[in-house]
Amino acid sequence: MKLFETGIPDRELLEGLAPPPDRAKPLAVLECFEEFPCDPCKAVCPTDAIVMNRITDIPRLIPERCTGCAKCVVACPGLAIFMVWPKKNLVWVPHEFVPIPERGEIVDALDREGNVIAQAEVKAVMNARKKLETTVVCVQVPKELLMEVRAIRVREKKDARD
Amino acid sequence: MSEKLDVQLAVVGGGPAGLAAALAASRFGLEVLLIDENKELGGQLIKQTHKFFGSHNHMASVRGIEIANRLKKEIRENSHITVFLDTTAVGYYENGELLLYRKSPEEKLVSCFPKAVIFATGARENMLAFPGNDLPGVYGAGAVQTLMNVYGVLPARKILMVGSGNIGLIVSYQLLQAGTEVAAIVEILPWIGGYIVHASKVRRYGVPILTRHTIIEARGKEWVEEAVIAKVGEDFNPIEGTEKVLEVDAVCLAVGLSPIVELVRQAGVYTPYIPELGGLVPWHDDDMRTNLPNVFVAGDLAGIEEATTAMLEGELAALSAAEYFGVKSEEIQKMRKDRKARLEELRASRFSDKVKNGLQKLAAKRPK
Amino acid sequence: MERLKDHPVLDFDRGEKVIFYFEGKPIEGYTNETIAAALHAAGIKVFSYSPKKKRPRGFFCAVGKCSSCLMVVDGRPNVRTCMEYVRPGIHVRRQRGLEKLKGTEE
Ligand SMILES: Cc1cc2nc3c(=O)[nH]c(=O)nc-3n(C[C@H](O)[C@H](O)[C@H](O)COP(=O)(O)OP(=O)(O)OC[C@H]3O[C@@H](n4cnc5c(N)ncnc54)[C@H](O)[C@@H]3O)c2cc1C
Ligand code: FES
């Protein structure tokens, strides 16, 4: 397993996490692969879609119960939960950087290694002005990149400062 | 110049351990003097901009700075707790005298003889030996955090992080948030030391994490201008020919912490060497009692761990202190059971194996 | 270096902007900053020269635990500038080795 040497999840770990293409709602994608004491995702889930028996367990998602509310994306202290909706080609990623992009803005879409793999349009921003919360940005990306895009970077605007 | 003061319970150190200890002690009617050398309470917490892990019913998913704010508010509203900020405990003597150096409101020495003391002085950062490690621009991870998260000053333009434990990973992420480029994170072990989600978080923004690598030199005329890293072999020695020069203006060391034991040692607390807990640590039982009947310890001082465990230990120390003062209440036994169960739960993963090991060794060293 | 203008999580209360002196030259600082932070923000990294080999030294721990940041403040040597706050008009200078305390000079 390369994950523990590089921080980049191995392909085999990601198998089975992608939502089916025709799913009616977005689906949470839990990229949490290690046992350690942490359970806010389970606690915030309104439909008990995330299961853990002990606090140190790896959280498991029951897709049928997930409503795509993104509460777990916001709550995860490890920023390891994303949301994907194949029907509309949308990915939701946590974003704790300034500046926070605006709806309609084009941003760099990054993969799990930090490579820029697409230009993506911002479709929605959650918690944009709540500093103690985690901002979540929803971007539209090419279908084949739904399970690749895991972060965004707002391009330097000339007048970004001041 | 010096002033005398009457104190029942002194709590030295206002980090999560000390804050939790002071609050719990006040619940049992103890009068507490809480001392911290900073201008603000919170210890390490005031630099933690990330959301904490742990149990949702113990402030997980809340940012460290917010945890500090909640505790500080409770302390402020508590009439049993007197707070001395900007005050360093400079000596604790065998006759029970605790000597305080106050910088404000006016500079003076204050002497007191508290009937009991809970020490929660935290930890200091470890150094690493390499040529150039004394150049300006070689910083401890705490320094970098203090600069950017307390004072809002950019620590460097481009930095090399040494160490991939949780601190190295989290501070790297915080550096990115502040706008510093992180050239790489080097880790001498074959695997990443901290939680993998923290590693994935910085990797996602393009920061390479180089395991089996170490820093071998920092170079520069008056300050750091470049850092040399190299791959290491099975024996952890650098492999010749694998050196790489990184153009950075700072090197950040996140290579572990050691408990600050000077004060407890002065008073005669036994401090055996337990590497798993960070080095010299005050001997204590699982109720945070030391070999001295009226001295208790908690938090990183009692073994390097986490803020979550530090708070539970602080409460346990307060319970023991309350008993020392003769408080008898079912509440003490109830709280004790609950806090111990929570500690056990938090220490259930492989990340706590080292600490559990260390605590076992410590228990075996019980002084006669 | 520079002061952060915008931060994703934090807002900074820097206090009042004041002038103090470094090696005789005026420097801008804020009253909620330590001397070390203000000097760093002004791009000053060398705080002292070591006693024997005269090697440049800056701060290391920034929390008062290592003595790497000692400077002479208003004539008083060995001041931990990472714990000492900026005050208007103070004179700060680089320390050269172990300087004598006032009143102990021969
Ligand atoms: C980058 C980083 C990230 C972390 N992330 C997490 C996390 O996600 N979750 C988690 O649970 N933990 C985390 N921790 C660990 C956590 O911050 C520490 O374990 C915790 O702060 C220890 O608490 P403490 O009260 O023992 O010590 P501290 O917080 O260090 O507080 C000790 C206080 O005592 C004061 N003091 C020391 N000596 C004296 C003296 N002589 N006189 C007066 N005052 C004195 C110090 O100035 C300080 O304010 C992190 C730590 C770091 C560095
Ligand atoms: S930098 Fe360590 S004491 Fe000031």
Residue range of the domain that includes A129: 2-154
Cα–Cα distance measured from residue B182 to residue B205, given in angstroms and rounded to the nearest whole number: 10
Best of C46, C48, C63, C95 to mutate for ligand 2, by most ligand atoms within 8 A of CB?
C63
Residue at C21 is within a domain: yes
Q: How many other CB atoms sit within 10 Å of the CB of residue B41? A: 24
pTM: 0.94
pLDDT tens-digit map of B18-40: 999 999 999 999 999 999 999 99
Query: CATH 3.50.50.60 in chain B, residues?
Result: 2-124+257-364, 127-253
pLDDT tens-digit map of C27-38: 999 999 999 999
Q: Mean pLDDT over residues B88-99, rounded?
A: 94
What kind of fold does domain B2-124+257-364 have according to CATH? FAD/NAD(P)-binding domain (3.50.50)
Residue range of the domain that includes C58: 17-96
What kind of fold does domain B127-253 have according to CATH? FAD/NAD(P)-binding domain (3.50.50)
Residue at C4 is within a domain: no
Is the Cβ pair B140, C85 closer than 8 Å?
no
Inform me whether the C-beta atom of residue C105 falls under 8 Å from chain B C-beta atoms.
Answer: no
Residue at C33 is within a domain: yes
**Chain B, 321-350: which have a CB under 8 Å from a chain A CB?**
345-350
Residue at C37 is within a domain: yes
DSSP B230-282: EEB-TTSPBPTT--EEE--SEEEE---EEE--HHHHHTT----EEGGGTEE--
**Of all protein residues, whose CA lies closest to atom 3 belonging to ligand 2?**
C64
Q: Is B288 left (phi over 0), alpha (psi -120 to 50) or beta?
A: left
CATH number at residue C40: 3.10.20.440
Residue at C60 is within a domain: yes
Residue at C12 is within a domain: no
pLDDT tens-digit map of A79-107: 999 999 999 999 999 999 999 999 999 99
Quick one: which H or E segment has residue A24? none
Cα–Cα distance measured from residue B310 to residue B298, given in angstroms and rounded to the nearest whole number: 6
Residue in B55, B195, B207 nearest the CB of A78: B195
Residue in C46, C64, C65 nearest the CB of B223: C46
Report how many domains make up chain A: 1
The interface predicted TM-score of the complex, written ipTM, equals 0.95
Inform me whether the C-beta atom of residue A161 falls under 8 Å from chain C C-beta atoms.
Answer: yes
Within 6 A (CB) of ligand 1 lie B 12-18, 35-38, 43-45, 48, 52-53, 88-89, 120-122, 142, 145, 166-167, 170-171, 260, 263, 299-301, 305-308, 310
Contacts of C among chains (3+ CB pairs under 8 A): A, B
Report how many domains make up chain C: 1
Taking CA–CA distances from A99, the nearest residue in chain B reads B177
Q: Which residue has the higher pLDDT, B247 or A157?
A: B247
**B105: cis peptide before it, omega within 30°?**
yes
Is the Cβ pair A99, C11 closer than 8 Å?
no
Q: How confident is the model at residue C102 (pLDDT cuts 50, 70, 90)?
A: confident
Residue at C77 is within a domain: yes
Q: How confident is the model at residue B4 (pLDDT cuts 50, 70, 90)?
A: confident
Residue at A161 is within a domain: no
